[in-house]
Every structure is written in C-alpha cells, then in structure tokens.
Structure 1
Amino acid sequence: MDLSLKKFIQRKQIIKKENQLRFLNLFLRLLKNGYPTLDALEAMKWDKSLLKPANEIIHALKAGETIDEAFEKAGFHPTITSFLYFVKVNSDLQGSIEQCIIMYKQRLTNTKKLQQILRYPLFLFIIFFLLIYFLNQTILPSFVDLFQGNEDSSSTVVLSMYIIDVVSTFLFILLLFVIVFIFVWKLIKQRIPIETQIKIYKQIPVYRKFITAYTSYFFATHFSSLLKTGMSIKEILHQMANQQKLPILSHYSFIMIERLTNGVHISGVISSFTLLEKPLTTIFQKNTDAYFLEKDLVVYAELQLEEIENKILRAITFIQPIIFIVLGIFVIFIYVALMWPMFQLMNTI
C-alpha cells in the first residue's frame, strides 16, 4: 500500500510532456552558449513554467546527486533519464541531451498523431454504441410486440437483440480485461523477473517488434557513446549492466559479461538475444577497431530511429481504417436490424 501510494505521489509530480521538451531545448541552448550546468539551470528559473523543475534539479545536484537522479526527482520521463545516466561516464552532457530531445520529440509527435487520428473515430464509436444501446432497449423490443403475429419478422428482431447483447457483453469484458491487465501489470511488473518479462514480450507479436527495435536502438546509442571515452568492451558492458532504467539492456549486458569471460565473442552473444536486431551481430563481427565500431553503431542507431518512426506511423495509419470498417459494419447492422423485419412483414401481405 505504501509503495502504491508513493508511486501515485510521484506521478502527481511529473511535469507536462511539452514542458519537459521545452526544458531540454532551453537547457541545451544555454549549454551551447557557454553556460556552466548550474548557471544554465539558474537562468531557466526566469521562465515561470520551468521554475519548479529547475529548482528541484539544482537542489538535487547541490546535494551530490547525479544528473539523471536529479532529473528523475524533478519528474522527467524515464526515456530522458536513461540517456542522462551515462553522462557521469562519458561526460557528454550536450550530446546526451541532444539525443534526449530527438527521441522524446519523436515520442510526443507520434502520440499527438495517434490522438488526432483516434479522436474522431472514437467519438463516432461512442455515438454508435449509444445508438445501438437505445435500439436494443427501446426500438427492437417494440418491434417484437409489433411483429408478434409474424414469426419470421419476430425471430429476426429477437436474433438482432441477441447479437447486440453478445457483442456488447464481449466488448465490455474485453475493455475491462485490458484496463485491469494494464493496471495489474504496472503494479507487479517490478516484481516479475526480467527473464519472465522477456518471455512475455516475445509472445506478443506486434509489441515484440517495437521493443526489439527500441532495445537495439538504446544498445547501439549507449554503446557508441561509451566507446568515445576509450573504455574497453567489458567496461562498457559493466556500465550498461549497472544502470536500472533499461532493465532488458541491463540483463543482456550481465549475460554478455559472463559469456565474454568464458571466451565467447560478443557478436556470438548478441546473436542469441531475441530482442536485439541481427544487424548488430554483423556490426560487431566486421569491426575490431573501436573507432570504426563506434561510427557504425552511430549510423545504425540513426537508421534504427528512423525505422522506429516508420513502424509507428504505419501502425497509426493502419488503426484508422480498421475503426472505420467496424463503424461501417455497425451502420449496416443497424440498417438491417431495422429494415429487414419490415421487408419480411411486407412479403406476407
């Protein structure tokens, strides 16, 4: 109960998504203009909408917390703090923030597109569900009384009412199941071993593709940023294993360290992971020089980010036609439910 209450309070403290992006953009601009980190944060307090998060980050940094911990305490999204975690290793605050902005801006853009695409169809869905409910509760029962003398018409109306009841019950149970599942999953996710979580992800076809793409992107991005510091592969993997913001990446890094110690080449280890893309294996196979490996990983990460964007856009544009098709079926069903009994009655006259 205390843990749930704590999480609830933390959610309340999260700042608006648009303000998070504004904060990052302004912070980066000030850093590029030569401001030291704390001075840049002090300057950001001039903007009233950014005053509170800037104050919280300043207090956290002065208390000795790392940049990612400070941003997390201020309520920033995990996507942002996962990039900032590695600043204490690679010392590239500007580069990490630039990557944050690209990734988070893409996230906000796709979310807005999804909301725009779903807004009108969902409104129509609500209208049609209310219409069908009204039809089932008032008009169709009246038809049953009206067509009592005609067996065919009466049976058609009864069948229509039965179909509406079954479909409505199914959709209600499905919606309830999804809501309960999401709520329960958020509560118990942290208690489920990461190995079990990965097995669950692998069983969900569409989600598996997205999480594989994201895991591959984060792996390539963070690995390449740490390569720039001159660290060895094992040292990089230790850093990635110790972070907790990307659990799958941490789990895979621990396995890589263990297998590298046993003499297995890193490309062979990567190929065994189902949530990492195959091109990563090829990149590590062909590169023995850290400089070229870092360059290839940077290019791959950029291409992967574009691919993620394309996949999300395809998924979003695929959703709208499906919704309109279902709405079309509802319209036809309402027409048939109302008119077919009348045609049957007319044929008996």
Structure 2
Amino acid sequence: MKNLNITIGPSNKLGKYDAHFLIKLAALLKNGFTMQQALIFLTEQYEVIKAQDKAAALALINSGAALSAVLKSLGFSKSIIMQVSFAEIHGEIITNLEQSGEYLNTRRKTVQKLIKTLQYPLVLVSIFIIMLVLLNYTVIPQFNDLYSAMQADKTSLVNILTFILNYLPYTALGVLIIIMLISVTILLITRMKNTKRAAHMLLSIPLVRTYFKYYVTYRFSREFGYFLNNGLEVKEIIMLLKTQTINRYLNMTARMLEEKLLAGISLSEAIEQQNVLDQRLAVFVSHGEYNSDVGKELIIYSEYSLENIIIKIENLTKKIQPVIFLILGLLIVCLYLVIVLPIFNMMSNIQ
C-alpha cells in the first residue's frame, strides 16, 4: 500500500484565486486536456504567482511530478493536499478538484461573513475605548477639579459611573489578554506531539469540542467514503489512513477503529465508540451496512458535517453581535450620564 508522506509547502501563492485554480483545472481535464497540459496552461495564466514561484511550479510540472506535489509548491493548504493525495490513489481527481474548489469558496465566504459581522462592532469598541482613555485623562479630571473648586459633593450615581468608566479600559484589556491566552493555549495543544492527548484536551474544551468533532468527522467520512466507493476494502482503507502522515487525527482514528474491528465488532459499532467522531455518524454507517451502500452514506454525512460547522459559526456570530451592541449602548448611556449629571448637579447648587 502506498504511503502518503507529504510535507506541506509555504503560504498560498494564488491568494484568493486558489479555488478558481482548482475548478478551472477540473474543467480543463473534463475537456480532454492532460494533467500536464492543464497545469502548464493555468500556471502561466495567473499573474498573481511570482515569477520565481511560477518557474519552480513549471519545473515540477515538466518533470512529471504528481498533482499533490505541484499544489504543495503553490502553497495550497494541508487539507487540500490531503484530499488530492487521496484522490490520486482512488482515481476521482476531477470530482475531488471540483469539490475542493467549492470547499475553499465556502470557507472563504464563511470567513468573510464572520469578519463582516464582527468588524463594525469591533471598530465601535475600539473607538469607545479610545474615548474612555481620553475622557479619563481630560474631561473627568476637569470635572473633579471643578467639583473641588465649588466644594460640591458628587452623587452616588456619578461616583459609580465614574468608577466604571475609570476601570473599563483595564477590564477590556484584561478580557483581550484572556482571549489571547486561550487562543495560544489551544494552538499549543494542537501542536502537541502526543495526538491522543491533544485530542483528549481539545475535546475537554466546551466551545472547541464541537468544532473539533465535526472537523474530524468531516475528514474521516469524506475520505473513507471515497475509498469505499472506489472499490477498496475496509481493511485496505484503514491501512492507508494509518500510514498517511498528512492528518494525524485520521491516523489515530484509523488505529482505534482497527483495534475495535479486530475485536469482532461491526464498523458502525466501532465508529460509535470513537469519541473524536460525531456519534450520529454511526447511524448513517449502520443504514449503509443494511443497504450495502456505506460509501455513499459516509459522503452524505461529510457534507452534513461541513454544513454544521458553517451553521454553528453563523449562529455564534449572530449571538455575539447583539451582545456587543447592547454593551456599547449601555456604555454610551453611562458616558452621557457622567458628563450631564454633574452639570445639572452644579446648576442646582448654584441656584
């Protein structure tokens, strides 16, 4: 069985045109171009690729290198190289390229939607924090001096609001530091050498757990389904997933599945016992075992898993945005009261 020992190349040379490249490559192959002809034609067309990178890619193509190696030189992501590497074995290159292009487009649209959802509130928060800092060093000290000069007492409400505004920038900074620390911690966990330990820790983090499960389920069901549809036996697929070095979570899942299958249980039962996979996948596999179409069921579920990831991200942003606007509204009211109430208080004392 062929091993998939592929190292991942540098950053994406095609930028936002990576999905377009894959879809156009599939179209050229459909229209009778050979892989080499199609790759040469496309690589020469994209001006976004730097001259030295283009020369390196063309040298690889002309030497007869595999598609996965060419995509690696163009800086495609780890997930795309993994899918193409598998497709080179199971023979569904055109379909895989089309689906990979759609996947990149969907992922980019999701990221753009997330940025659009958050950028306006984040700009408002940034402006408001700057205003708070300026007010704390300019306006509020002036009011304090004015109160002292007039020997007027602040109301309890003004004292509370002033206290909130004084410490709000520090609170915002503290929250930002906590978020950064959590992000760095998750990044360090994903880079741990012990795959089982890393998976266990990711599954113990509430928000991360759901996305991690759907991600592993998506990868597993997609690749396993393609292999089954192309005539490979379960034993061969597990051996292939065990020997590949592109996705270590697939490697770990394959090893655990092999242990369960050797113990004499069915594939659906073995999947159900994997904590890194969505438990509902076992229902699809069981249904596929009943009608002898496990591969199709797995591919359907892979699409369902990807849709779930997108839906959950969209729902999360929809929940975050109203909260940010509510906090901003309350802070603006507090700021307004801190400025206006002392004025009314001093006017009443003068009268």
Give TM-score, length-normalised by structure 1. 0.86
Does the 8 A contact of 2:288 with 2:295 survive in 1?
A: no
Does the 8 A contact of 1:17 with 1:108 survive in 2?
A: no
Give the structure, 1 or 2, with the largest relative contact order (CA under 8 Å, sep 6 or more): 2
CA distance in 1, matches of 2:174, 2:104: 34
- What does residue 203 of structure 2 align with? 202
CA distance in 1, matches of 2:169, 2:303: 45
- What does residue 213 of structure 2 align with? 212
Unmatched tracts of structure 2, length 5 or more? 1-6
Matched, 1:23 2:21: yes
Does the 8 A contact of 1:56 with 1:74 survive in 2?
A: no
CA distance in 1, matches of 2:243, 2:201: 23
Q: 1:73 to 1:190 in 2, by over 3 A?
A: farther
Does the 8 A contact of 1:212 with 1:275 survive in 2?
A: yes
How far 1:347 moved relative to its partner?
Answer: 5.2
- Superposed CA RMSD: 2.8
Q: 1:298 to 1:23 in 2, by over 3 A?
A: same
Q: 1:233 to 1:244 in 2, by over 3 A?
A: same
Q: How many residues align?
A: 340
How far 1:63 moved relative to its partner?
Answer: 5.4
CA distance in 1, matches of 2:71, 2:118: 32
Q: 1:3-29, CA deviations, whole angstroms, 9 ceiling, x for partnerless residues?
A: xxxx9xx65x42254121121122111
Does the 8 A contact of 1:270 with 1:280 survive in 2?
A: yes
How far 1:344 moved relative to its partner?
Answer: 4.0
CA distance in 1, matches of 2:21, 2:248: 26
CA distance in 1, matches of 2:165, 2:14: 41
CA distance in 2, matches of 1:177, 1:338: 31
Unmatched tracts of structure 1, length 5 or more? 1-6
- Structure 1 window deviating more from structure 2 (237-246 vs 213-222): it is 237-246
Q: 1:188-225, CA deviations, whole angstroms, 9 ceiling, x for partnerless residues?
A: 74334222222222233232222222222221111111
CA distance in 2, matches of 1:30, 1:310: 33
Does the 8 A contact of 1:67 with 1:87 survive in 2?
A: no
- What does residue 249 of structure 1 align with? 250
- SS of residue matched to 1:275: coil
How far 1:137 moved relative to its partner?
Answer: 0.9
Give TM-score, length-normalised by structure 2. 0.86
Does the 8 A contact of 2:285 with 2:298 survive in 1?
A: no
| Identity across matched positions, percent | 24
CA distance in 2, matches of 1:161, 1:343: 16
Which amino acid counterpart does residue 145 of structure 1 have in structure 2? D
Does the 8 A contact of 2:225 with 2:296 survive in 1?
A: yes
How far 1:77 moved relative to its partner?
Answer: 1.7
- What does residue 105 of structure 1 align with? 105
How far 1:37 moved relative to its partner?
Answer: 0.8
- Structure 1 window deviating more from structure 2 (331-340 vs 103-112): it is 331-340
Superposition pairs of residues 6-155 of structure 1, within 5 angstroms:
11=10, 13-49=11-47, 55-60=55-60, 66-148=66-148, 149-153=151-155
- What does residue 4 of structure 2 align with? none
Q: 1:279 to 1:252 in 2, by over 3 A?
A: same
How far 1:242 moved relative to its partner?
Answer: 2.6
CA distance in 2, matches of 1:309, 1:141: 48
Which amino acid counterpart does residue 22 of structure 1 have in structure 2? H
- What does residue 288 of structure 1 align with? 289
- Structure 1 window deviating more from structure 2 (331-340 vs 305-314): it is 305-314
